[in-house]
Amino acid sequence: MPYLLISTQIRLEAGPTMVGDEHSDPHLMSILGATKRSTLGNNFCEYYVNDAPRLVLDKLESLGYRVVSMTGVGQTLVWCLHRE
């Protein structure tokens, strides 16, 4: 899985950080220390870590991921990463 999206709410820039959806690589999620959560009202799960986005980006860089783009969507910050 070469692409990865991570995100956080602007008011939560110190964490937690959303690092994957229910179809994400379980091995990568375990390396990041992510846990799968389901929010009340959603019919899908997401993986979260309690780390700030900067720490998650550092970990992903060490695993060969590079930031392709970053944007703000409403009150959410989103990073798109790719691994060769």
Q: How is the chain split into domains, by residue range?
A: 3-82
The residue type found at 30 is: S
The arithmetic mean of pLDDT across residues 37-59, rounded, is: 91
pLDDT of 71 > 90? The answer is yes
The arithmetic mean of pLDDT across residues 20-34, rounded, is: 93
Does domain 3-82 fall under CATH 3.30.1410.10? My reply is yes
* Averaged pLDDT of the chain: 90
The arithmetic mean of pLDDT across residues 61-82, rounded, is: 94
User: From the CB of residue 83, how many other CB atoms can be counted at a distance below 10 Å?
Assistant: 13
pLDDT of 15 > 80? The answer is no
Task: Find out whether 68 and 44 touch, Cβ atoms under 8 Å.
Answer: no
pTM: 0.86
Which pLDDT score, from 0 to 100, does residue 66 have? 96
